[in-house]
Amino acid sequence: MTVELVDGKALALNNALMSEKPGFKRHIHYFRAVAILFVVISHVFLPPWIHTGFRHPVFSLGFLFFTNATVLFVLISGFLFQYINDNPGFRYGALMRKKFLFIYVPMLVMSLPALLLGLFATPGVSLKKVMGAALALPAGLLVGPYWYIPFIMLVFAASPLIRKFIRLRGASVITVVTIAVCFFLFPRTFSLWPSVVPYFVPLFVLGATMSYHYEHIQGRIARAVWLWGLFALAYMAASIVVPYAPPRYVAKHLNVSILAGVQSVCSGFFKVFLALFFWGLLIKCEHWKSRFLDLFATYSFGIYFVHSYFLMVGLVSYSTLWPPAGPLSISVTFAYCFIVPLVSLGIAMLVKLAIPRYSRYVAGV
């Protein structure tokens, strides 16, 4: 089975992201690798961060740096959507068919182990358990990180409106203001979609807007790379200092709900600035080749699907997989930061090697 892409230009651009053909921009391809590495490593830090009561400074800083990596994933998704489909021959039906087959179907297939485990891990299969699983499967709720797939399908469904909006005069300013407002009103929590829709949709639009104006802003992103890094460092420093502010002062002078909204705006833009920092670095290193980043970019969705099971195991079996909080636990966590991405990449590559004709329907690779 094959899926016809939008047109010849879209096909060339899509293939160019994994080759050296005309239209290829290596820094965009490599940013996909940065995004998936941030997602995987943030999930490696999640179990020790939770199980040490959110207090251990190393786990807190590691999780602070990598957490909410979905921001990077959404930005590059919006950028690539516009980058590939920016042509008069855009066909909405072909786009949705392709996304359904190569993104949504793999989510269903990769959710099957979790489905079977949920049904048969405990004795007895009740109607209530079956109905719950049947509802959770299409919503991407059987495996924690899979919530992103129904969410991004919803965004793609609204893509004709997004394509029209980014062409409006002042769309860039409206988008940035909307992001700030949504960050304030809808702080990022561990809740899954649809509660995160207003938080992430404007970021997808920002990525698409960046793509639409990319000829004009690419150089500016690169020239301001150290400014983006400075903003990110400032937030990291503030996050270290603020928790040690006198509690009485905080309680007296700051409203809790307003403080939560401000913190959400700062943490959200921290990830945007961090994304722009790495984006700018990659632009400056456009002619630098990395087999490591190329592999992680090419197999990014496969890694995303596979690594989610490592997160599930880590959350459930933390006491077995991690030593008690301390230097050894920190060393083990950093070791997992290397092991989990590499093993996930290896499994994705094996799937591609074993069933090359069907791997995109099974694991998105």
Can you give 164-199 as a three-state secondary structure string?
A: HHCCCCCHHHHHHHHHHHHHHHCCCCCCCCCCCHHH
Which of 15-24, 98-107, 309-318, 330-339 is predicted least confidently? 15-24
Compute the mean pLDDT over every residue in the chain, rounded to the nearest whole number: 83
Could you read off the pLDDT of 136-173 as tens digits, one per residue? 888 888 888 899 999 999 999 999 999 999 999 899 99
- Give residues with Cβ within 8 angstroms of 237, minimum separation 6: none
State both tokens at 220: 């500016």
pLDDT in tens, 273-286: 999 999 999 999 98
Predicted local confidence at residue 354, as pLDDT: 95
Residue 249 has pLDDT above 60, yes or no: no
The domain ranges of the chain are 8-219+291-363
pLDDT tens digits, 26-60: 999 999 999 999 999 988 887 777 776 556 677 77
The pTM for the full model equals 0.86
